[in-house]
Structure 1
């Protein structure tokens, strides 16, 4: 099994600010406030968290193949 990637580059869809963040391994992150424009990011429909919607790497549960990773 491959090692999980815990860092993801989260990019704000409003201002394109990108920030490297460490993802939690024990929970999904449903909200994130952009540090540049203060927009509150929420997952897109069908995604479980902000990392799956706006990150360069999906969340750790998705990486490990869990179907209902955040449910």
Structure 2
């Protein structure tokens, strides 16, 4: 099945609420991200694979392509 992958996701900082749209990498998981406003270093929440699955509006590309009905065990929104 051909599935379109969305590469833009809006990250929301849990500390200050700042939102920024970022392009997601397709070859690796992003494990660290610095908020542009408050400079808090974001890391994935427990049991999640990357900052996009933890703080983004769209899950990362590997999760989007997952064959599981709910995407992946780590994507719980």
Q: TM (normalized to structure 1)?
A: 0.90
In 2, Cα distance between equivalents of 1:25 and 1:2: 14
Moved over 3 A (4+): none
Query: 3-state SS of the aligned residue for 1:51?
Result: helix
Gaps spanning 5+ residues in structure 2: where? Answer: 73-77
Q: TM (normalized to structure 2)?
A: 0.83
Larger radius of gyration: 2
* Structure 1 residues 5-56: Cα deviation after superposition (integer angstroms, max 9, x where no partner): 0000000000000000000000000000000000000000010000000000
Query: What residue number does 1:41 align with?
Result: 42
Query: 3-state SS of the aligned residue for 2:20?
Result: strand
Task: Report how many aligned residue pairs link the two structures.
Answer: 67
| Superposition map of 1:1-71 within 5 A | 1-65=2-66
